[in-house]
Structure 1
Amino acid sequence: MPRVLDARRRARSLFWLGWGITEIAEELEQLGIVNDKGKPHPRATIEAWKQRDQWDSVDFLRRMEDCLEVRWQRLVLKDQKTGADYKEIDLLGRQVAQLARVRRFNEPDGHEGDLNEKVGNRNAGPRKKPKKNHFTAEQAAELKRIFEAGLYGYQESWYASSSLRTRMILKSRQIGATYYFAFEALIDAIETGRNQIFLSASKAQAYQFKSYIISFAKLVGVTLSGDPMMITSELRPDEEAAAELHFLGTNFRTAQGRHGNFYFDEFFWVHNFEELNKVASGMATHKKWRKTYFSTPSTVAHPAYPYWTGERRNRRRKKEDRVELDVSHDALKDGAIGPDKIWRHIVTVLDAEAQGCDLFDIDELRDEYADDEFANLFLCNFVDDSLSAFKFNDLTACGVDAMVDWADVDLEAARPYGDREVWAGYDPQESEDGDNAALVIAAPPLNEGGTFRLLEKHQLRGLDYEQQAAFIKATLSRYNCTYVGVDASGIGSAVYQLLAKPDSGVRGVVRLEYSLEFKAQMIMKAQNVIRRGRMAFDLGWNDLISAFISIKKTLTTSGRNVTFKAGRAVGEGHADLAWAVMHILMNEPLDGKERPKGSMEVIE
């Protein structure tokens, strides 16, 4: 149930946008935002909020700051950001900084230099050069105000638990955890001077923390730089002592030697968790450091799962020293400290919505994902991969830190892989309102038995066949693509025909017609490649791992034959990314000598 604080803040924002009190009351009721008794907020309550908080007397600058803050939060929490989104985030940060200058100018001792830093205060003496990565007491206080004002209910629970030694959080996808913990760590670094260490599956993923932190600092006019990032503040007795912020991928060798609070992002998805966790725990050996693990769930086979359930602690302990943990949602939805002194918390998408997060359309998500996928991605249920055609641990072993390990790939460049050959696989939507489509681009092995490197992946939804074909053409125009495997079933036939036209600009288009035999060959080929470690992709591609795991062995409708299925009908799971990858792998002979048999038509 939404909190009164959320309703009050929403009502205030609407009032400042020019809404009347009656209109606000009706809007809150339509949005389902109710009081702690489950009833709509009456008009008299909203009027009381207005009088008590003096909404009418709040200055125009504060109203503008509120508007900018709401827009900024929505952009930061978007799942897939465009270049325009990043530009707007930066613009909003600069606008807030400018408003801060106007506020200083309006103070009794304000001067023209507050509005234009190039002018300066002509009546003042020589100024000291501003300190790099430094927060004044006023900037620190304003940043903390912005932080606390923007918290949802579950994030308030995380904030209240931030002084605890160890936290483990199981969360829904895209509820703002990385955003929150980046902000929490920055506030802690400013106030206490403690080092902050961010561990993610890859360097690129760790840099998401860095991107957020730089954006937060801009809200109060501070520009942060450096890696590690060194931060000082007036709030500490020794303000010259810098807090260090380190952003690390899960190459444990690069993580050794650091000390500080550490945040382990998506720890249920990393490879070699046991080994890496020994190093990570060593970073926070001293009692002043804090350890925070947070992740969406993967599978019960993951090495981190026994840590979550408490089974790992009970190993090799006497019976009387073992502890029993209840890790059900009912037990942990509000957060709880277990007998092993670890604070655990489960936050599903439904919990997030009930505690003020209005970023989701739950009905649309349920329509887009199969029940088991929805339960895994949004309801914090672990997957049992024992029936899957592919094993979780085999897949995670294929992960690499692409930003560090692939020096010859630059996805931001006009030609990400130069003029070298790439292959592509496309799995189309089954219908215009059906599942996602997927495009994957890979660098083929440079020698026999070499590695397929997956460079790019894209998922499309709601596009007709012409729009799908146009997207493929635009994406492949950046590469020297010599092969494109397209599933020509259903709407895929129309996409294939457009790509296969002589004037399409796309070379090596291959028509793939699925059959039981051909699908089995694709699975066997992929199993062989993955088991032998011949496929590599960025460690942050959790959705690709999920796609492969969702493919299960099953019987055909007749019950006479075995097939592999991830439910390609509307309302079921689709594994589109996995099928797209397998289209690529099938361009290599099964045994290195003979082309795999199937219905394939090559258009040069």
Structure 2
Amino acid sequence: MPYSIEVKDTAKRLYLRRCKPREIQAELKLANVRIVYYWIAKGGWDELLTDEEPLTAVSRRITLILEKPGTLGKVELDELDRLTTLRERLLKQCAKSPSAPQTLPVEPRARDGQNKRKPKQAKNDISELTELNFLEKFTSKLFGYQKQLFEAKQNPLTRRIRNVLKCRQSGLTYYFAGEAFMDAVLTGDNQMFLSASRAQSELFRGYIVGFAREWFGIELTGNPIILSNGAELRFMSTNSSTAQGPHGHVYIDEYFWIRDFNKLSSLAGAMATHKKWRKTFFSTPSAVSHQAYPFWTGDTFKRGKHKKASLPFPGEPELRQGMLCPDGQWRKIITIDDAIAGGCDLFDLEQLRLENSDEVFNQLYLCQFIDSTQSAFNLADLERCYSDLVLWTDFNPDPKADRPFGNAPVWIGYDPSRTRDDATCVVVAPPLVPGGKFRVLEKHSWRGHSFTYQAAQVKKLCERFNVQHIGIDVTGVGYGVFDLVRDFFPRATPIHYSLETKNTLVLKAQDTIQGRRIEWDADWSDIAAAFLTIKRGATNSGQITYSASRTDATGHADIAWAVMHALAQEPLNVNKKRRSRWSSLEGSHERSRTTDHSHAAQGKGVQLRRARVCADSPPGRIHGGVRQQRRPTLHPARIPHRLGQTATGQCPPRHHSALQTQPAAA
């Protein structure tokens, strides 16, 4: 059976990661292992393999064991324990190797005091940094609530697990990046950063590299970053196979927007098993239906059989001060009021209240969870749509790329603001096969620009992509954009909002999301948040409608409606197939032949009144390719049959006074 290019590329990636052909067959559920050997020989995959160092081979084997589905057996666990021990030993040897003296041949012309080579500087050398350096550059400039987090790290009773619920843009990613860098430099401990996507985890790396350059003039290189004291700083995404095996202090960012939290929690626990390691969870709130919600509220611990499970948990006032809970977690809530009280002067509180409804303001800035039971979309379904841009090998996410998606077709959805001069636009890759997956490749938000500027931006997208469809909401400023867009893209589709249109858009989006037929980068949490703000309601006349509250982050769910405008190109019923007319025409032909024979005697001598058709004309051909015999020779009633007239192909006058037809023959 033919296999798609995606299956072959996946098999190639697995083989280059040193998976065995039999393991590739089991992973991809191929019919036979011989097809894998055929792809290896035809594609020359063996030539792409490189020689491995011992450390690389051991790390690869650890990753392959941890990727096996299901629960690991005793044999795999024993092997994993041995490999982990061996890996730590090899890492220590690698850390010592740069400082080991090398025996170099001495040239005869070299003399004492002449031509002596300068010692090579160690890579990522931080040996001269002390706590005083960080006191001046980092800890002395923290806000009040950030200093509380630092104190909880220093306290042996609260340092093991820190769980922080924060408001938007409170600076915790910046703080925890600085805290981890300082800890790695002063103690030599490993630091692990887990995020929903690789791009989000790279945000930590950007902060740390910037700290070293701006504060101390040190250029950090490598990924992972390995400091001169042996400390590793790894930046991983939750859907990456490399997020397994290493150990150290773990930082998990935006865990309320990461799917499969139970799996994530187990992974973090494995990486920080030893008592010396810390686990830090911090995130903005999402919905009460998220898997992490019982973890935050302590319900997971209360359902257990621990002797402290019956102890009461502190309430919100205590958590805003920071409190050690019965389950051993130190929890803290940081609202926008707490941030302002702690010295953060980056917010305009009154303006934020004007831009957001009370419900949305409470969720974004007062750390209140969304009641997703009232939303038209389910958070669990939205989480299954998370992906990572690095996995899309056919797409170049560089915004400066001329043809980032090659010549593959894309659809564009545009949604304007109803009250302001801003808009949201998305680029969606449609599936190449019926029932395949959509992918949100790019998203753009234009604020403070006229419709002329926005139309020009849409034109630039048409120059970069092979655009096949543009869906534009023509309400308000959208009509101006549509009028300009159809000049260079006549196939642009105007979308006039009505109850029927809204219902169709939402039904299509629900079917696509519930069927896991769309993906976007997990770092784009604003897409899921926008869909969650769409709620089902009723008009004054009792008809069903959908609406969304305005937020500064999502608008009126602008990005969600933009995605739906792109999806509108595909019909609701994607499984409908065009029915063939062959069987119906063939059945009609057989029935007509039977009728002809049964009424042959009655129809004899009757001619149908049809232009340019005589009784002796040859059988014609009807649409559909089925040849059908005409009825036997017919002639007009009450008119004597004259052979010469029919033989010469002549027809009686259309208005002949004596011409009649017999209904029985017809």
1:471 deviates by 2.6
How many residue pairs get matched? Answer: 458
Partner of 1:548: 531
Partner of 1:448: 434
Partner of 1:257: 245
**Cα 1:181–1:444, aligned 2, differ >3 Å: closer, same or farther?**
same
**Which of the numbers 315, 324, 331 marks the counterpart of 1:337?**
324
Partner of 2:384: 397
**Cα 1:442–1:159, aligned 2, differ >3 Å: closer, same or farther?**
same
Q: Distance in 2 between matches of 1:193 and 1:568?
A: 47
**Which of the numbers 219, 226, 235 marks the counterpart of 1:230?**
226
Q: Distance in 1 between matches of 2:280 and 2:306?
A: 28
**Cα 1:465–1:134, aligned 2, differ >3 Å: closer, same or farther?**
same
Partner of 1:517: 500
2:358 is equivalent to residue 358 of structure 1? no
1:416 deviates by 1.5
Secondary structure class of the residue paired with 1:417: coil
Q: Distance in 1 between matches of 2:285 and 2:438?
A: 27
1:444 deviates by 0.5
**Which of the numbers 185, 189, 203 marks the counterpart of 2:184?**
189
1:140 deviates by 6.2
In the TM superposition, 1:191-210 aligns within 5 A as 191-210=186-205
**Cα 1:352–1:509, aligned 2, differ >3 Å: closer, same or farther?**
same
**Cα 1:570–1:244, aligned 2, differ >3 Å: closer, same or farther?**
closer
Q: Distance in 2 between matches of 1:443 and 1:286?
A: 45
Secondary structure class of the residue paired with 1:565: strand
Secondary structure class of the residue paired with 1:574: coil
Partner of 1:41: none
Gap regions ≥5 residues in structure 2? 1-112, 578-666
**Which of the numbers 582, 590, 601 marks the counterpart of 2:572?**
590
Q: Which amino acid aligns with 1:191?
A: L
Q: Distance in 2 between matches of 1:594 and 1:341?
A: 56
The superposition leaves residues 360-389 of structure 1 with CA deviations (integer Å, 9 ceiling, x where unpaired) of: 222222222222222111111110100111
2:151 is equivalent to residue 170 of structure 1? no
Q: Which amino acid aligns with 1:349?
A: I
Partner of 2:86: none
Q: Normalized against structure 2, the TM-score is what?
A: 0.66
| Residues 418 and 479, structure 1, Cα contact 8 Å, conserved in 2 | yes
**Which of the numbers 385, 390, 406 marks the counterpart of 2:372?**
385
| Residues 429 and 461, structure 1, Cα contact 8 Å, conserved in 2 | no
User: What fraction of aligned residue pairs are identical, expressed as a percent?
Assistant: 43
**Cα 1:431–1:567, aligned 2, differ >3 Å: closer, same or farther?**
same
Q: Distance in 1 between matches of 2:346 and 2:334?
A: 15
Q: Which amino acid aligns with 1:538?
A: D
Q: Distance in 2 between matches of 1:410 and 1:149?
A: 41
2:250 is equivalent to residue 244 of structure 1? no
Q: Distance in 2 between matches of 1:568 and 1:158?
A: 33
Q: Which amino acid aligns with 2:140?
A: A
Q: Distance in 2 between matches of 1:430 and 1:311?
A: 42
Q: Distance in 2 between matches of 1:123 and 1:156?
A: 54
Secondary structure class of the residue paired with 2:269: helix
2:140 is equivalent to residue 149 of structure 1? yes
Partner of 1:272: 260
**Cα 1:552–1:192, aligned 2, differ >3 Å: closer, same or farther?**
same
| Residues 248 and 255, structure 1, Cα contact 8 Å, conserved in 2 | yes
Q: Which amino acid aligns with 2:430?
A: P
| Residues 197 and 387, structure 2, Cα contact 8 Å, conserved in 1 | yes
Q: Distance in 1 between matches of 2:362 and 2:315?
A: 16
Secondary structure class of the residue paired with 2:291: coil
**Which of the numbers 116, 119, 122 marks the counterpart of 1:131?**
122
Q: Distance in 2 between matches of 1:174 and 1:570?
A: 13
Q: Which amino acid aligns with 1:439?
A: C
The superposition leaves residues 470-518 of structure 1 with CA deviations (integer Å, 9 ceiling, x where unpaired) of: 23223443211121100001121111111112xx4x4631100011011
Secondary structure class of the residue paired with 1:358: coil
Q: Distance in 2 between matches of 1:389 and 1:152?
A: 39
Q: Normalized against structure 1, the TM-score is what?
A: 0.72
Secondary structure class of the residue paired with 2:153: coil
| Residues 252 and 279, structure 1, Cα contact 8 Å, conserved in 2 | no
The superposition leaves residues 32-82 of structure 1 with CA deviations (integer Å, 9 ceiling, x where unpaired) of: xxxxxxxxxxxxxxxxxxxxxxxxxxxxxxxxxxxxxxxxxxxxxxxxxxx
Q: Distance in 1 between matches of 2:223 and 2:408?
A: 32
Q: Distance in 2 between matches of 1:475 and 1:369?
A: 31
Q: Which has the higher contact order (CA 8 A, sep 6+)?
A: 1
Partner of 1:486: 472
* Max Rg structure: 2
Q: Distance in 2 between matches of 1:571 and 1:184?
A: 28
Secondary structure class of the residue paired with 1:483: strand
Q: Distance in 2 between matches of 1:351 and 1:568?
A: 24
2:509 is equivalent to residue 526 of structure 1? yes
**Cα 1:507–1:445, aligned 2, differ >3 Å: closer, same or farther?**
farther
1:142 deviates by 2.5
Partner of 1:294: 282
Q: Which amino acid aligns with 2:536?
A: K
The superposition leaves residues 411-467 of structure 1 with CA deviations (integer Å, 9 ceiling, x where unpaired) of: 11222211211111010011336xx52111110111000001001112222322222
Q: Distance in 1 between matches of 2:552 and 2:210?
A: 40
Q: Distance in 1 between matches of 2:185 and 2:466?
A: 48
Partner of 1:160: 151
The superposition leaves residues 109-148 of structure 1 with CA deviations (integer Å, 9 ceiling, x where unpaired) of: xxxxxxxxxxxxx999853222111113247643442111
Secondary structure class of the residue paired with 1:544: helix
1:320 deviates by 6.7
1:322 deviates by 2.3
Q: Distance in 1 between matches of 2:471 and 2:338?
A: 41
Q: Distance in 1 between matches of 2:441 and 2:369?
A: 28
1:229 deviates by 1.2
| Residues 231 and 244, structure 1, Cα contact 8 Å, conserved in 2 | yes
Partner of 1:39: none
Q: Which amino acid aligns with 2:410?
A: V
Q: Which amino acid aligns with 1:447?
A: V
Secondary structure class of the residue paired with 1:161: helix
**Cα 1:400–1:366, aligned 2, differ >3 Å: closer, same or farther?**
same
Secondary structure class of the residue paired with 2:164: strand
Q: Distance in 2 between matches of 1:208 and 1:397?
A: 23
Partner of 1:16: none
| Residues 357 and 550, structure 2, Cα contact 8 Å, conserved in 1 | no
**Cα 1:416–1:141, aligned 2, differ >3 Å: closer, same or farther?**
farther
Partner of 1:213: 208
**Which of the numbers 537, 554, 559 marks the counterpart of 1:577?**
559
Q: Distance in 1 between matches of 2:334 and 2:543?
A: 41
**Cα 1:569–1:536, aligned 2, differ >3 Å: closer, same or farther?**
closer
In the TM superposition, 1:402-421 aligns within 5 A as 402-403=389-390, 405-412=391-398, 413-421=401-409
| Residues 432 and 464, structure 1, Cα contact 8 Å, conserved in 2 | no
Partner of 2:542: 560
Q: Give RMSD over aligned pairs.
A: 2.4
| Residues 424 and 484, structure 1, Cα contact 8 Å, conserved in 2 | yes
| Residues 314 and 323, structure 2, Cα contact 8 Å, conserved in 1 | no
Q: Distance in 2 between matches of 1:247 and 1:424?
A: 33
1:264 deviates by 0.4
Q: 135-144 vs 567-576, which deviates more? A: 567-576
Partner of 1:465: 451
Partner of 1:424: 412
1:356 deviates by 1.7
Q: Distance in 2 between matches of 1:278 and 1:559?
A: 51
Q: Distance in 2 between matches of 1:217 and 1:570?
A: 34
Q: Which amino acid aligns with 1:133?
A: N
| Residues 129 and 185, structure 2, Cα contact 8 Å, conserved in 1 | no
